[in-house]
Structure 1
Amino acid sequence: MLRRWKERRRALPSPNILMPPEGVALTLPVAGLGVRFTAQITDIVITTVAAVCLLILLLVLDISDPQTMFAVGALLFFLIRVPYYICAELAWNGQTLGKRLMKIKVVSHDGGPLTAHALVLRNLMKEAEIFLPATLLLTLDAATPLESVAALAWVSIALCVPLFNRHRRRLGDMMAGTHVIHLPVPVLLKDLASDAPLPAAGRKKFVFLAHQLDHYGAFELQTLETLLRNQSARPASGAADGKSATVAVIVEKIRRKIGYADPVPPQDRLRFLNAFYNAQRQHLEQRQLFGDRRENKHYAQDKEESPDPADP
């Protein structure tokens, strides 16, 4: 029986594979319980500090009675906590401050766009799963043992649910159709210039300004690098004309996109692309030094559409 169970487990698709509606599988590692717990503790600390500051302000202004300090503090914590989780994940596309620090985020379980309805639902369920029963535990005493046991059992079950599913989904994730992943780290490929140094004429002839290089990101740079590597390979018979036409189309697209006014002669098209590649790579690496990572040309827009690999 154990062997049969293991065989069934192996037959299941990897939990790290996400299949978006476009049908192209993405490998996005599921966030573990440890990193999610750390992110949750970070968010709790942030909201608790905000609640404590407001409570101290109320006491200083003599608006709140010290005898009701615990009840007022619990209410403030609730009023800060619920909007914080919902608004943060809506504003940062599935991330709170804690998730941003831990480099994890919420995604739709079916690979579709992350909706506001899903984010609101998963965070309201968090109240029912954890916070409200935990608050009840803190307010109960020995005179109400049944209520205390019931609240403790509910919190324990809710915490154990992620242990028994492959995507580490809690009840709120199951109802909202979401799960939490590690953010993919964009990595630039090996510098093409190290394999084939750019001719001096190419470096001197084509100059690109910073505002022209702001149009593209690492994804387009890698796409351009793939094209240049394919161009450097020996073309098959009859493929040379097709490659030249592809290069001509891409050069014109880049010129129009960045506003490069000077025409590029046919014999200089590859030099133009090599010069643009090196300038773009240096520009992106300089931006990363200041913490500004640009994944693709759509990074400044709140769109979920994937960049077109044929459009560098």
Structure 2
Amino acid sequence: MIPRLRRKRKKERPSRDQLMPPEGVPLTMQIAGVGVRLGAQITDIAITTAALVCIMILLATLNITGPQTIVAIGALLFFLIRVPYYILAELVWNGQTLGKRIMKIKVVSHDGGPLTTHALVLRNMMKEAEVFLPGTLVLMLDASSPLSSLLAFGWIAVCLFVPVFDRYRRRLGDMMAGTHVIHLPVPVLLKDLAREPRALTLDRKGFVFLSHQLDHYGAFELQTLEGLLRAQGTRPAGNILAERDKTIATIVEKIRKKIGYASPVPPADRLKFLQAFYKAQREHLEQRQLFGDRRENKHYAKNGEDG
């Protein structure tokens, strides 16, 4: 039983893929399935078909086309509409057409880099060879040439089944262009620490910081302090908790000495002190930035004097 289970697991295809962008931070993305991609494709075909119908009605109203040429002109116009539509839409919307935007999927580079014009043109021109041109051939051929129609239909079927057996659900155009389609990641916004309820007080007055005490630090130190405060959401046990409490105590004392805060901070209120200082420091920096004083770090004043 165990060897069989292992063989089955090897055949399973991952629903997620890890991309490595140039910044060196791996990103885990959910690969778009065949169903959602087909839904986006049907939506795009409906949009381009609607544009074609509008143009054909205009041509018929102006008596530019007749019953003998309407099919040929329609096929040519459909080609001239859909090719620029797919390429330009994915260029403008960074890998998305209207159908992909509705289905919340997008095209990404397989190596995690930026999408190139070459890759988007190649994948969409291959779509013509995979689906649209053979499909047009099937629709235009009559019953007197069943072999050609059968070959075109077989080619379409093969191209449609390629994503089913590919690990990343890629069609031939994606394989050649080095792209694949993913679901859009759902953004998760962390709670703003500056908007926490004002329950961080020792007494009714709470911690009070004067303006000159908040001039010692900049945005870099504020972000570092924010990272420390966010890490307090978990409660480790044993030696790790003791080390973290020791780190907080050291930081509190350094801040007190740096800003000249005379009142001692009891051990039980050290974290509250840091939270109150973070909020006051952030409000102070935001207010100074409104007046054009962007303080990047604690060396801001020294750098300004040297300049």
Which deviates the most, 118-127 or 186-195?
Answer: 186-195
CA deviation vs aligned residue, 1:108-141 (integer Å, no higher than 9, x gap): 0111111110000000000000000000010112
TM-score by length of 2: 0.68
User: Unaligned 5+ residue runs, structure 2?
Assistant: 212-221, 234-243, 260-273, 288-307
Conserved? CA contact 1:125–1:172, under 8 Å: yes
1:178 corresponds to: 179
> Which residue of structure 1 lines up, in the alignment, with residue 73 of structure 2?
72
Alignment check: 8 A CA contact 2:52 2:77 kept: yes
Calculate percent identity across the aligned residue pairs.
Answer: 60
- Contact 2:87–2:124 (Cα < 8 Å) also in 1: yes
Give me the whole-angstrom Cα distance separating, in 1, the residues matched to 2:167 and 2:134. Answer: 26
Q: What TM-score, normalized by structure 1, do the two folds share?
A: 0.67
Query: Corresponding residue for 1:141?
Result: 142
The total of aligned residue pairs comes to 245
Larger Rg: 2
Q: Who is 2:251 aligned against?
A: 240
Question: Cα–Cα, structure 1 residues 62 and 235, in superposed 2: closer, same or farther, change >3 Å?
Answer: farther
Which deviations, in whole Å up to 9, do the C-alpha atoms of 1:258-292 show, x marking residues without a partner? xxxxxxxx99852335558999xxxxxxxxxxxxx
Task: Tell me what 2:113 maps to.
Answer: 112
Structure 2 match to 1:6 = 8
Q: 2:299 is matched with which residue?
A: none
- Between stretches 116-125 and 180-189, larger displacement belongs to 180-189
- Measure, in 2, the Cα distance between the counterparts of 1:273 and 1:111: 37
Q: Which runs of 5+ in 1 are unaligned?
A: 207-220, 249-265, 280-312
Q: Secondary structure at the match of 1:17?
A: strand
Residues of 1 paired with 2:39 and 2:32: CA distance?
11
Task: Give the conservation status (yes or no) of the 8 Å contact 1:16–1:29.
Answer: yes
SS at match of 1:270: helix
Secondary structure of the equivalent of 1:184? coil
Counterparts of 1:38-77 in structure 2 under 5 Å? 38-77=39-78
Question: 1:271 aligned to 2:279?
Answer: yes
Q: Distance in 1 between matches of 2:11 and 2:286?
A: 46
Deviations, residues 219-247 of structure 1 (Å, cap 9, x unaligned): xx9998534435897452784179859x9
2:141 counterpart letter in structure 1: L
RMSD (Å) for aligned C-alpha atoms:
3.9
Match of 1:168 in 2: 169
Aligned to 2:188: 187
Give the CA deviation at 1:23: 3.1
Kindly state the Cα deviation for residue 202 of structure 1 after the two structures are TM-superposed. 9.3
- Which sits farther off after the overlay, 116-125 or 22-31? 22-31
Match of 1:260 in 2: none
Deviation at 1:188, TM superposition (A): 1.3
